[in-house]
Amino acid sequence: MEFKVGELAQLLTGEVLRTADDGSVLVNIGNKNHTLKLLKSGTGEFEFILDNRFHHAKVLHSGSAEVRMMLDGQPITVKKHSKLTEVLEKASALGGTGGGDRNLASQIPGRVVNIAAEPGTDVKKGDVIVVLESMKMQVAVKAHKDGHLKEIKVKQGASVSRNDVLAVIE
Amino acid sequence: MGKKITSILIANRGEIALRVIRACKELGIRSIAIYSDEDVRAIHVKRADEAYHIGPAAPAQSYLNMTKIIETAKAAGADAVHPGYGFLSENENFPEMCDKNGMIFIGPTAKAMDLTGDKMKCKAVMKKAKVSTVPGSDGVINDVEKAADIAHEAGYPVLLKSAFGGGGRGIRLANDEKQLRQEFEMASAESKAAFGKSALYVEKYLQRIRHIEFQLIRDSHGNGRHLFERECSIQRRHQKLIEMSPSPVVDQKTREKMGEIAVRAAAAVDYLNAGTAEFLRDPEGNFYFIEINSRLQVEHPVTELVTGIDLVKLQIGVAQGEEIPFNQDDLKMNGCAIECRVNAEDPFYDFAPSVGPVPYCNLPYGPGVRVDTYLYPGCTVSGFYDSLVAKLLTWGSNFDEARVRMRNALDEFVIEGINTTIPLYRTIMEEKNFIKGELSTDYLERFRVFDRMNDEAKKSAEEKASAAVAAALLHSELVKKGAPAKSSRWKQARVSI
Amino acid sequence: MHEEKIKRLASMKKSAEGGGGDERVEAQHQKGKLTARERIALLLDEGSFVEIDKYVVHRGEDPTIQKFYGDGAVTGFGTVAGRQVFVFAYDFTVLGGSLGEMTSKKITKVMDHAMKVGCPIVGIIDSGGARIQEGVNSLDGYGDIFFRNTMASGVIPQITATIGPCAGGAVYSPAMTDFVVMVENIGQMFVTGPEVVKEVLSQDVSFEELGGARAHGSRSGVAHFVAKNEYDCFDKIKKLLSFVPQNNAEEPAIVETNDDPNRVNPNLINMLPENPYQQYDMNEIIKSIVDNGDFFEIHELFAENVLVGFARMGGRTVGIVANQPMYLAGALDINSSNKAARFIRFCDAFNISIVTLVDTPGYLPGTDQEHNGIIRHGSKLLFAYCEATVPKITCIVGKAYGGAYIAMGSKNLRADINYAWPSAEIAVLGPEAAITIINRRELKSAPDTPALKKKLAKEYRGKFANPYLAAERGIIDLVIDPMETRPMIIRGLEALATKKEARPYKKHGNINL
């Protein structure tokens, strides 16, 4: 399988070759063989030794396309199936009315302090649609693409969570 | 005054509340905490001797609710109130109300607060006391000719500031007289439109400046001392990120000279208790007074580390009417201390605020490492309050030792569940200009620190790449094991024909 | 010595796994769609897939219809997070994924296996429909599949993913499965396609508008989930599988969730606005009481006035049914009755406890509802609750008026534990409507009707707007402090875990379909 680690351009191949009785696993990463030994595992969290170096990993979210984890205290995202992702990206490009990405979602939790755009108008990528407040800071949420602002799903004063859909742009 | 304090209500939350509680515990003083709905499980609530609920999450209804806080303090029988920083700490009605209700306010008098809060008034007082201030107008300017004169005297470029604007708003730059006249018209019109009158003042625009402040303490007997300087030049949008003491450009002579001026400034406003005199220093070495912050500041531990003085305990002593227990020459600058403000913001994503539960955290420790924080594994970072989650401080016998200790401590510091500014500080600790002491308020842009930070993140990802892939492979193996197999009841289940 | 034979196998394997050939695979990719085998690889655990019937070909004599290995479907078994599942995926690259006699035999074989073994079956649809050239054989093929869908219904969980066309009679198989996931802009389902619609009715409508994911997700309710893309589709299926048991004889696995079962939330009561007519989001309450705030909502876009979905409480899977005051003030209507009733019956079939949260002003009035049969559809919800023998815990959070109060898991429908918040209002009618009846005479002869109405409404509210009258009768088991909602429900679930309840013997009831 091919993995894309974080923002690195170079893909890394990785596969499990075999598991031994003593719990160690022989893996091939980037065309080099490594021994991997699992030390301890709990819910979504585990410690392992890769070639004599100790690591601690905690999986925050795991989906078909990617695994988000904390590795040795640092957040990192590993994407699998990059070839398939290339294929799927054609679908969003092809999609008739705005593809699969009509939703403008919030990256942060916060409170809506200002609705800056009118539903029913056309907007350009980068236009400020909604202003959120969090931790006494104001953050402008901008349109992720050009299009027609179909609706704004939140009201002034509403609380939003991370990934909540704020507006629909077609 | 002269009353012994046996109990203190801390009108604040987060790490500063915990800091004051610690000082109380050392002095045998009963600590009384307050908390909003959001802070029910906060650490300061757990550590205080008593804790009282004062309202819903929103600051206006809780930590800024003066009436409720005073009521609570009285009901709890508090002798004194410590305001911490932020919230009500610079609201001149607060010391007044404490006074009216027979409680000691641990901080300056309402009068001193009021004076230091008004920048123009304060500037006038400083001028009288022969403390040099930023060249510019002494008061509000209503006419463009006057503005041009003052600008000419102070020297271009100048800033046109609105007397009512704040937080960086309403500031215009003029590089020469022609631009000044243009900007003045527009600024005047804006001010009239927004506030009904044109109230502008002119200030020389200082460039490549360092922000250097002096810690002050003044008691009720007229004794004033300074506890040396802190350099806080590394800022973003006027918020301090890193502070250190001593400043790389302040030698002993300058320290004594500016310290004396700072003490004089405090006397000029008849200041009481702890405060900070802030100065801007231009590349030629000239210091200009900006303002006195009439509270204990976020970065006070930096001074505690290089002087060995516990500032909170000192505050309490002064509030009890005691004389400051040391002379100016008793104080010695010892070693070097650095503080990094760890904020819950994502430096890779334009400092987007990050809130939520912190399921796990590992605080660094070891020689010369101090962490002032409200974090503990399982706590929650709230979106209702500011983004400072921890102050990481290191002390070393010289700057380099402090710097390397900070770098290593940043590596050890793990906070799960939120994004923090730790990667930014990590980059700065190894940045060559920082190491040389080349600081200024435009440090981050000047040396393209964000680019460096992004590059380093990339490198670190490369190094960790194999381990990340190994973790992903291990994870899918573990997932395959799934739920433990139990004896299936399917085989025994009733089978229909 | 046997090298030749091994070589032959390898080449056949390669040929079979190539589907309809490189060109057609490329065409599939160009459309932004994955092949059947790629999809199965995304669904199942790495390396766990065993494909069977790889070399099946159709028995037709017509040389113009090429024989491809696999005959348009990829079938087999594997594991999802270590749990056994059977899977079939139509292969669009082979004869347009059309269903022929042998294709159907392959699919029905894995369905039979799943039934024998007692594990979930997942179907991935990407098909042009019946293979016209095979005539009645292909219709037979569909019939065989439909029969098994019906036999398996309520025995093993059946999930369908529509990632491509699914037209004509073929749509009835997904319709009979338990959950349908459609991928936006790619999955389409309709009985009659746009061309025929244009011809017969002169109505011009696009594929997506007629039967796309959003249309079925929000208007018809055929789709339980609308996935953004194929990854999202499989993520949803995996998440769904994690909540349900393997078959109807087993209970869902209890998972350690690290969320303190005794966690209280003093802020919970504040989620209700002071004004009972003001809208609020029931989601906030649900997210606060379930483990880790993880509520897996089903039918998110359909009948938004009621919320259904899975969550865990104290590690146990529960099915949540709740009114959503943000839409239609939380009133019940045709679609929401259907949505909730089907969900409840699924939970009952698969031993999943049901937790109901109530805040509803009643049924939506109007000729639209009446003439479309709210009477019939509404009765399904009552039927489903009564029929269900899994543990049922209800908590009335706000309003609970009239028939809607009864319909939302009330005590007399044999809910096991009924809690209420102090803010609960249990009454036959809301204040405004009630006083126009009770105080009709007074109001007629009143000098200042609006003021009197207000006063009477206040009195009525004071008398009835509380759960204590019901508590006095034992209809509400306990009025609880809202902040304890989570621990109280979890303790109830633990107490009811071994519940056994019988129902009178019958072939099956006559639910008003």
Give the C-alpha separation, B4 to B1, whole Å: 9
Instruction: Give the model confidence (pLDDT) of B338-359 as tens digits.
Output: 999 999 999 988 898 889 889 8
pLDDT score, position A92: 63
Q: Judging by beta carbons within 10 Å of its beta carbon (0-12, 13-18, 19+), is residue B155 exposed, middle or buried?
A: exposed
**What is the average pLDDT across B421-436?**
96
Are C82 and B493 within 8 A, CB to CB? no
Q: Tell me which long-range contacts B189-196 makes (C-beta under 8 A, separation of at least 24).
A: B190/B162, B191/B162, B191/B163, B191/B164, B194/B164, B195/B162, B195/B164
Q: How many residues belong to chain B?
A: 497
Shortest distance between the Cα of C79 and any Cα of chain A, in A, equals 14
- Smallest Cβ–Cβ distance between A8 and the set B352, B384, B461 belongs to B461
User: In the 3-class helix/strand/coil scheme, how is C414-464 assigned residue by residue?
Assistant: CCCEEEECCCCEEECCCHHHHHHHHCHHHHHCCCCHHHHHHHHHHHHHHHH
Give the bridge partners for C319, in sequence order. Answer: C310, C354
CATH number for domain A2-98, candidates 2.60.40, 2.40.10, 1.10.1060, 2.40.128:
2.40.128
Are B479 and C82 within 8 A, CB to CB? yes
Give the C-alpha separation, C307 to C388, whole Å: 19
Shortest distance between the Cα of C415 and any Cα of chain A, in A, equals 33
Closest Cα partner for C423 from C321, C289, C271, C305?
C271
Are B479 and A67 within 8 A, CB to CB? no
Tell me if chain A has a CB within 8 Å of the CB of C429.
no
What is the pTM (predicted TM-score) of this model? 0.77
Active site residue C451: no
Nearest CA in chain C to A85: C231
CA of C140: how far to CAs of B31, B131, C274, in Å? 82, 99, 61
Shortest distance between the Cα of B447 and any Cα of chain C, in A, equals 42
Q: Which residue has the higher pLDDT, B477 or B35?
A: B35
**Assign residue C39 a region: left if phi > 0, alpha if psi is -120 to 50, beta otherwise?**
alpha
Strand B171-174: give its sheet, edge to edge.
Answer: B171-174, B158-162, B200-204
Q: Judging by beta carbons within 10 Å of its beta carbon (0-12, 13-18, 19+), is residue A43 exposed, middle or buried?
A: exposed
Tell me if chain B has a CB within 8 Å of the CB of C197.
no
- Smallest Cβ–Cβ distance between B480 and the set C82, C247, C248 belongs to C82
**What is the average pLDDT across B164-185?**
74
Domain ranges of chain A: 2-98, 102-169
Cβ-based contacts of B476 with chain C (< 8 Å)? 45-46
pLDDT score, position B164: 60
Residue B295: which residues within 8 A CB-CB, separation 6 or more?
Answer: B83, B84, B85, B89, B90, B107, B274, B275
Alpha carbon of residue B403 to chain centroid = 20
pLDDT score, position A42: 76
Are C250 and B490 within 8 A, CB to CB? yes
Instruction: Give the model confidence (pLDDT) of A93-135 as tens digits.
Output: 544 333 446 778 887 778 888 888 888 898 888 888 898 888 7
Mutate to test the interface with A, among C31, C42, C122, C185 (most CBs of A within 10 A): C185
pLDDT score, position B186: 79
Give the C-alpha separation, C166 to C159, whole Å: 15
- Backbone phi and psi for residue C220, each to the nearest 5 degrees, phi listed first: -90, -25
- Portion of chain A with pLDDT greater than 90, in percent: 1
CATH topology for A102-169 is OB fold (Dihydrolipoamide Acetyltransferase, E2P) (2.40.50)
Tell me if chain A has a CB within 8 Å of the CB of B60.
no
User: Residue C378 in contact with residue C337, Cβ under 8 Å?
Assistant: yes
Chains within contact range of chain A (3+ C-beta pairs < 8 Å): B, C
User: Residue C339 in contact with residue C303, Cβ under 8 Å?
Assistant: yes
**What is the average pLDDT across A79-98?**
68
Q: What is the mean pLDDT of chain B?
A: 90
Give the C-alpha separation, B345 to B142, whole Å: 41
Q: Is the pLDDT of residue B479 over 90?
A: no
Give the C-alpha separation, C212 to C165, whole Å: 9
Tell me if chain B has a CB within 8 Å of the CB of C139.
no
Instruction: Give the model confidence (pLDDT) of B284-338 as tens digits.
Output: 999 999 889 999 999 999 999 999 999 999 999 999 999 999 999 999 999 999 9
Mutate to test the interface with B, among C42, C43, C83, C317 (most CBs of B within 10 A): C83
List, as ranges, residues 28-47 from B with C-beta within 8 Å of C. 37, 40
CA of B235: how far to CAs of B209, B232, B341, B440, in Å? 12, 7, 11, 9
CA of A64: how far to CAs of B481, C45, C48, C385, C473, in Å? 17, 10, 15, 36, 52
Q: Is the pLDDT of residue B494 over 90?
A: no
Torsion of Cα atoms, C508 then C509 then C512 then C513, to 10°: -10
Shortest distance between the Cα of A96 and any Cα of chain B, in A, equals 31
Cβ-based contacts of C246 with chain B (< 8 Å)? 488, 490
Q: Which residue has the higher pLDDT, A169 or B52?
A: B52
Q: Which of C89, C152, C340, C404 is catalytic?
A: C404
Residue C384: which residues within 8 A CB-CB, separation 6 or more?
Answer: C340, C341, C342, C344, C345, C348, C511
- Smallest Cβ–Cβ distance between C33 and the set A43, A65, A91 belongs to A91
pLDDT tens digits in sequence order for chain C, 513 residues long: 789 999 999 999 999 999 888 999 999 999 989 999 999 999 999 889 999 999 999 988 888 888 899 999 999 999 999 899 999 999 999 999 999 999 999 999 999 999 999 999 999 999 988 998 888 999 999 999 999 999 999 999 999 999 999 988 889 999 999 999 999 989 999 998 888 899 998 888 888 889 999 999 999 999 999 998 899 999 999 999 999 999 999 999 998 888 889 998 888 888 888 887 788 999 999 999 999 889 999 999 999 999 999 999 999 999 999 999 999 999 999 999 999 999 999 999 999 999 999 999 999 999 999 999 999 999 999 999 999 999 999 999 999 999 999 999 999 999 999 999 999 999 988 888 888 888 888 888 877 778 888 888 888 888 887 899 999 999 999 999 999 999 999 999 999 999 999 889 999 999 998
Predicted confidence band of residue B497 (pLDDT cuts 50, 70, 90): very low
C-alpha dihedral sign at C99, C104, C105, C110:
positive
Tell me if chain C has a CB within 8 Å of the CB of B487.
no
pLDDT score, position B484: 56
Nearest CA in chain B to C252: B483
Shortest distance between the Cα of C386 and any Cα of chain A, in A, equals 36
- Smallest Cβ–Cβ distance between C48 and the set B480, B489, B490 belongs to B480
Q: Judging by beta carbons within 10 Å of its beta carbon (0-12, 13-18, 19+), is residue B487 exposed, middle or buried?
A: exposed
pLDDT score, position C308: 97
Lowest mean pLDDT among B192-206, B214-228, C62-76, C362-376: B192-206
Give the C-alpha separation, B96 to B93, whole Å: 5
- Both tokens of B213, joined, read 């402040």
Give the C-alpha separation, C103 to C113, whole Å: 16
Q: Which of B19, B218, B230, B295 is catalytic?
A: B295
